[in-house]
Structure 1
Amino acid sequence: MMPARGAHAAPYSYCSQPRALPARAKYRAAPEPDEREKGPVRYANLMYDRRVVRGNTYALRVLPAVRELFGPDPLEIQRQREARRRALSRKRAKEQMQPRTPEPVEGREHVHVQTELYLEEIRDRIVEVDVECQTDAFLDRPPTPLFIPAKTGRDVDTQIEEGELFDFDIEVKPMLEVLIGKTIEQSLLEVMEEEELANLRAHQRAYGELRNAELAEVQRLEEQERRYSEEKERRKRQRMEMLKKQKETTEKIAARAFAQRYLADLIPSVFSNLRENGYFYDPIERDIETEFLPWLMTKVEGALEKKVLGRTVLD
């Protein structure tokens, strides 16, 4: 139950509707004989459980490999059947010996009756009772007191007589001198070390600048040498090309002069030979000789043949 939040609602209400518990039988029903035979036997004592092997395990069970090779033992099968038959007969005898309630006479029937010492009233409806409770209002928690640990141990005091204590100014002077001396010495060493480191850095800086200058000079000289080498190679290639062109020009001029001298007498002789062999001719004269004269001779021969034929016919 929980309090309702409405102003005019009931002071308490249920979160869920009340419901009755399901009815359950008071006693467990005894299993039927058929169910006993079908279901597994639940042993209460391990000494009577057949799954527990007692004694020598090699003599009780047959190895699977031997059983596969030789097959099941007929004596073992017969022994199991007889044991099963004896168990069934023993169970039937036990059931017959168990006292049972006689069958009801005609017109009556058996009813389950409580035989316990204290009887229980059986009702169709379960008794329901409403119970309410009210909690008190929460009170403010008192402030937590300051924790003061308990005093432990014992108080002890001592007495210092005159002359037992030392004079601080006198006794501390040697220690201060040693401390100040060591501090000054360490400071001087550190200052000297810093000066030495500064000198080393300055020397390294000067050496680095000198080295950089030398490297720059070396690079400049290398670049100058490279330019000189490139210019020299370029001049050499240019000179070689010029000499090559000059040689080619000289050879061409010599070949031209030789060709002119050689062809000066060759051309007239060639033309004269060609003219003598008939390669150079007059086209009109050649046309008359090859075309006109053969045609003319053919016509003349035809005319003469006609005249001869006419005279022959007249004679």
Structure 2
Amino acid sequence: MAFASSSHRNPAEVYTFLSRPRPVEGRSKFREPPPKQTQHSYGNIMYDRHVVRGSMHAQHIAHTRSQSNPARMQREQVIRNRARDQYRPRTPEALMGRQHVDVQTDLYLEELSDVIETTETESQTDAFLDKPATPLFIPAKSGKDAETQIEEGELFDFDREVQPVLEVLVGKTIEQSLLEVMEEEELACLRAQQRAFQELRNSELAEVQRLQEQERRHSEEKARRIAQQKKVLEEEKEIAEKIAARAYTQTLLADLLPRVFTSLRTHGYFYDPVEKDIETNFLPWLMDESHNNMEKRFTARQLLDTIIYEATKRLDEFK
């Protein structure tokens, strides 16, 4: 029997499989027992071409999204229109001094105009009428009417009925009065206790203030005595230091004055006026005069030597 099958698989569509029906050949009525083998061979459905790989749900979602995205479809339509316009044959450009004009090629010419024909119509509606007043609602009467007569003293006897009411009123009044009296006595006791407590508290506060004031005076007196004692100790220390300094100064100055005078005399601070005058005035003048005299003598000797040399030279020339 001829057998034909075909399969179609599009990434954007669902997988479909077509096969011509055929009878089953060589199949027993009952299931054959499995062969006794130690190792079983299994087939791998990953290599079966009838099994679709991937997620079918994801393919449906992608296809639905591509169809339900109007912006994307509009962009694709614009791209297709541009491609169609690009490859569509166009009219050649007009020659120099000419231009292309759109003309009607129909059998009957029609006047082209931008004026839109309009007509005016009008309509008038009826005026609104005021709503009438709503009538008062009166429910329908139902049931039967009946009447009776009550004589005096049949329902209420004042002398008999008022007695429990008076007992309650008088009892409540007396009870309230007793409660008010007891409350006043209790308030008086509370005020007396409060007054006694306030007096005791005031006396305790006065005693506390007196003790605080006494403690403050003791603290101030203690601080004053401590400061006074510190001042006395400082004065005694200062006096002792002064006495020690005076004794040390006297001991130091006993040998200091002779040494100072000796040092000053050695360095020339104490001098004889005559000796000082000779050293500062006479000796420099004497040295200057001696120097001048020696220079004059040296000059005279040089002049005499020159004269002698010239005379000797002339004598030699005459000879």
Q: Give the structure-1-normalised TM-score.
A: 0.43
- Report which structure shows greater RCO (CA 8 Å, sep ≥6): 2
